[in-house]
Structure 1
Amino acid sequence: MMQEHHPLVGRQLAAANAPVTIRPVENCARFNLRIDPANLAAASAVWGTALPATIGGLVWSGERLAACIGPDEWFLIAPLADRDAIETAFAELYATTIHSLVDVGHREVGIAVEGPAAADALQSSIAFEVGAMVVGEARRTIIDRVQIILLREAETRFRVEVWHSFSDHVWHLLAGICREYELGV
């Protein structure tokens, strides 16, 4: 069994009344699901709620989150305790529905970017208009040459999902941006 390690554990960047803060997101189960959209109802039944049908769609059900990040691709997030049950349920789906479910929990970590200046802070390193994202939208994009999945969870809260190998770089980039906002630069 692979040892689980979260490279951002113990890090926190939050000053009192700061316009933007970052913090690591608690470790969780993460999956990449590839399935023909015609079979989305079957995958939704296994997942436990309707998966978003359009690219950029983001839905929550309890502690589970699903983002459509491609024409036949979904990024799924759930509590670690649900990982085995999810794998088992999708394994049973193979009997009737062709799909691919890959556990990418070892590959990804999450960073929460929060505060009234969160969208502007992210905008400084992302090419598209971050502020135009609506709450409940997801995008695969690039931040300083690093691929991420950006989720808008609330008006002033985003979640950045990034590969472990790039998490330190993205963390320090965001920390520098937060510091500039804190100083009013």
Structure 2
Amino acid sequence: MTKQMHEFQIIHGAAELVRIEELTPAARFSLRARAANVPALSKALGLELPGRVGERAEARGRVALCLGPDEWLLTAPEAARDGIVTDLAPAYAEAPHSLAEISDREISYAITGPAALELLSIACPRDLDRLVTGRAVRTVFDTAQVVLWRDGPEAFRLDVWRSFAPHVLALLETGRAEIAAGL
């Protein structure tokens, strides 16, 4: 299977205004558990599962993002996939939970540069100025459900289901062209 990389830039004079690039694949899991089981699962994972929607925690190369009161997105480098499963398996007896691997479901894009916020605003109804660095949210981009991470003032990550990726990329390309044309 060949991997198609998408990358484009908006150039204005000598300054790059926005860059979009497909990120390398990652291990991803959907974790569902009751609040009473969070301490045991946090201990097994080696990171404190965040308790508020939008918060994330990082440790040992793993990231946990709280998507709901009983739902977390776990991400890690691909090589760490088996380790997450292995670490959580013994905790099941004490802390029942649902762990579903969703690694192949999504593609992630890094969107960076001074026009990144403007580009994402073309199809995202959220007030992205209010998305604080270090947080992430489940939202929509046009009609596609996505997870949008804010990694810095001009740095975002967009996780989109593989089946919606062509649509999302087409919208980003349209937005790129509009920004480049000064519209």
TM-score by length of 2: 0.91
1:178 Cα offset (Å)? 2.1
Percent sequence identity over aligned pairs: 37
- Separation (CA, whole Å) in 1 of partners of 2:62 and 2:113: 23
Distance 2:173 2:22 in 1: 12
The 2-side partners of 1:117 and 1:14 are apart by 10
Residue by residue, what CA displacement relative to the aligned partner does 1:38-78 show, whole Å, maximum 9, x if unpaired? 22121212222112110110223353221101110001110
Larger displacement relative to structure 2 (19-28 or 175-184): 175-184
CA contact (8 A) 1:59 1:136 kept: no
Query: 2: distance between equivalents of 1:62 and 1:154?
Result: 21
CA distance in 2, matches of 1:94, 1:80: 23
Task: Verify: 1:92 aligned to 2:90, yes or no.
Answer: yes
CA distance, structure 2, for counterparts of residue 112 and residue 29 of structure 1? 17
The amino acid across from 1:11 in the alignment is H
Q: Do the aligned residues in 2 keep the contact of 1:22 with 1:175 (CA within 8 Å)?
A: no
| Counterparts of residues 101-112 of structure 1 (less than 5 Å) | 101-112=99-110
Aligned equivalents of 1:117 and 1:169: distance in 2? 20
State the AA in 1 paired with 2:7.
Q
Across the two proteins, how many residue pairs are aligned to each other? 180
Question: What does 1:103-182 correspond to in 2, within 5 Å?
Answer: 103-182=101-180
Q: Select the structure of larger CA radius of gyration.
A: 2
Q: Within 1, Cα distance between the matches of 2:21 and 2:51?
A: 30
Go from structure 1 to structure 2 and tell me whether the alpha carbon gap of 1:35 and 1:134 turns closer, same or farther (over 3 Å shift).
same
The structure 1 segments of at least 4 consecutive aligned residues displaced by more than 4 Å after TM superposition are: none
Give the drift of 1:28: 0.7
Give the TM-score normalised by structure 1.
Answer: 0.90
Select 1:23's aligned residue among 21, 24, 29.
21
Q: Secondary structure at the match of 1:106?
A: helix
Task: Supply the RMSD in Å over aligned alpha carbons.
Answer: 1.7
Q: Which runs of 5+ in 2 are unaligned?
A: none
Equivalent residue, structure 2, for 1:13 = 8
Unaligned runs of 5+ in 1: none
Which deviates the most, 97-106 or 120-129? 120-129
CA deviations on 1:2-32 (whole Å, 9 max, x unpaired) are: xxx686x322112452322211011010010
Larger fraction in strand: 2
- Mean Cα displacement is larger for which, 140-149 or 117-126? 117-126
Amino acid across the alignment from 2:97: H
Deviation at 1:86, TM superposition (A): 0.7
Contact 1:6-1:109 at 8 Å conserved across structures:
no
